Structure 1
Amino acid sequence: MEPVLFYGVPQGCSFGSIVALEWLGKPYRLCRIEMLEQPWDALYAKINPLFKTPALLLEDGEPLTESQAILQHLAARDPEARLGFAQGSREFDRLNQMLAYLNTDFFAAFGPLWTLYDTQGMSGVEQALLRRLGHESVAESCAYLNELLAEREWLLGDARSVADAYFVGIARWAEYHRLFDVKQEYPNLARLLAKLRDDPAVRFAEAIERGEQPAGLGHFKGHVSLRELESRLAA
């Protein structure tokens, strides 16, 4: 029995967990959650009562929520995949630090822009304020990450980690919201983003979000519906 990742579309931050699963190379399934369809299926409350994605249904029926926890869990499943580090090591601390930054500051920087996207009936002044606040916050985060990447191939150094998987799912939002020319203003960040965009796992995750049926690297065992998982949730 494979673990099941519940991922949200469109433009969900769960994108990074799909990438990490492909990098990990272990069998898994996916369950698609259309975030714009309201209300969500009440059965999902057994996965996450907060009605958020991503969530990972483990083999024993226990759900795991929050991107940082899921990514660290996936990294620990196979140390040989080298997506994370041994707990207690300095490298593990650095990974936790980076994931925490991406999951709080970088993610939250886009908050005003998603509010603008989700809210109707705002005045022009309110819309302009939200866009300005979002632009300033995202620019500050991009500048920080761009400086870090000046002498690094990946976020933590010379090798990829689950932090890079999460990063690509968030960084793409700057292009989605058309805030600025990322390549021109933040060339180091753009370099990493371009390299990740060319990665087979990232291309797979993009196709999955579009509703296509890519094969991936052969570890993906297909989609499963929430109703098909009901017996596992009851257990």
Structure 2
Amino acid sequence: MNSYRIFSALGSGGVPVEAAMSLIGLPYEVIEAPTWEGEAQQAKVATVNPLRQIPALITPEGETITESAAILIWLADRHPEAKLSPALDAPERAQFLRWMTFLPASIYSLFWVRDEPARLGGDDPEVQARIKAATAERIVDCWAMMESQVSPGRYLLGDTLTVLDLYVTVLSRWGPRRVRFYEAAPRMAEVVKRVDADPRLAEFWARRFPFFDGWERLGQQG
């Protein structure tokens, strides 16, 4: 096997990984597996990730790597020529690792609940609605906290785009959507808009997470 294979889906947590591989110039194949659509899609991933979650990356050597943050850090470090992560001895390295860990721990993980509130709230629609509302507020609070702790330049860690920027750009498009993200994190908002508009990613975004009228507000209530 001479190329990478990634189990991913449109608009999913696999998209920043695909974006990073596109910027690096790596050959890769996408196995489309929107696992939230049910058993048939989850079964596609089960042999490489027992949690039946995406993304899952198969390297040219046949190794499996799961967890979006781990894959992004590994790819960026493996290809330092692409400058998608601070070097191990760079002053920005500690904050890079801090935020790359913060995103899945504090924000991404909440979507396991949000995508199917019945997992914790049972069949009661009122309980499910409260869970959706509470997780939305928690996500906004986390973005606001991150905003208070970073000092962006053109990008989150300065003037060089890293996989952290790709990660935030994609996650900030999920519920409760970009309008609330812009309100909670106005300086970070300028960064993600810059990544949205990066000409190197124009064709990629059109294929893997398309923009359309009203996308920034879609689903804003939850």
Q: Assess same fold via TM > 0.5.
A: yes
Matched residue, 1:77: 78
Q: Counterparts in 2 of 1:10-49, with a 5 A limit?
A: 11-35=11-35, 36-40=37-41, 42=43, 44-49=45-50
Partners of 2:66 and 2:152 lie apart in 1 by 33
Question: Counterpart in 1 of 2:213?
Answer: none
1:72-122 Cα offsets, whole Å, 9 max, x none, are 221123212111133355433322111001121121344543234989984
User: Which one has more relative contact order, counting CA pairs under 8 Å at least 6 apart?
Assistant: 1
Q: Which residue of 2 aligns with 1:194?
A: 193
**Structure 1 counterpart SS, 2:155:** coil
- Provide Cα deviations, 1:148-191, integer angstroms capped at 9, x if missing partner: 455433222221111111111211114xx458544344322322
Aligned to 1:233: none
Distance between the aligned counterparts of 1:152 and 1:210, measured in 2?
25
The answer for the alignment partner of 1:159 in structure 2 is: 160
Q: Percent identity of the aligned residues?
A: 25
Residue 132 of structure 1 aligns with which residue?
Answer: 133
TM-score, L = length of structure 2: 0.78
1:142 and 2:130 are equivalent in the alignment: no
Higher deviation after alignment, 138-147 or 111-120: 111-120
Give unpaired runs (5+ residues) of structure 1. 212-235
**Any gaps of 5 or more consecutive residues in structure 2?**
211-222
- Cα–Cα, structure 1 residues 125 and 201, in superposed 2: closer, same or farther, change >3 Å? farther
> In 1, distance between residues paired with 2:148 and 2:124?
36
Moved more, 151-160 or 97-106: 151-160
Judging changes above 3 Å, is the alpha-carbon distance between structure 1 residues 122 and 96 closer, same or farther for their aligned structure 2 residues?
Answer: same
Write the letter of the residue equivalent to 2:173.
R
Where do residues 160-175 of structure 1 align in structure 2 (5 Å cutoff)?
160-174=161-175
Structure 1 residues 43-97: Cα deviation after superposition (integer angstroms, max 9, x where no partner): 6333222211111111111211111221122112321211113335543332211
2:140 touches 2:180 (CA, 8 Å); kept in 1? no
Residues 200, 49 of structure 1: CA spacing in aligned structure 2 closer, same or farther, 3 A cutoff? farther
CA gap 1:151/1:77 in 2 versus in 1, 3 angstroms: closer
Aligned length: 208
Counterpart secondary structure, 2:116: helix
Instruction: Trace 1:97-136 onto structure 2 (pairs within 5 A).
Output: 97-116=98-117, 122-136=123-137
Question: Measured at CA, do residues 65 and 110 of structure 1 come closer, stay the same or move farther in structure 2, by a change above 3 Å?
Answer: closer
RMSD of aligned Cα (Å): 2.9
In structure 2, distance between residues paired with 1:124 and 1:41: 25
- Deviation, 1:38, is 1.7
Aligned-pair CA distance for 1:140: 0.7
Q: 1:128 to 1:49 in 2, by over 3 A?
A: closer
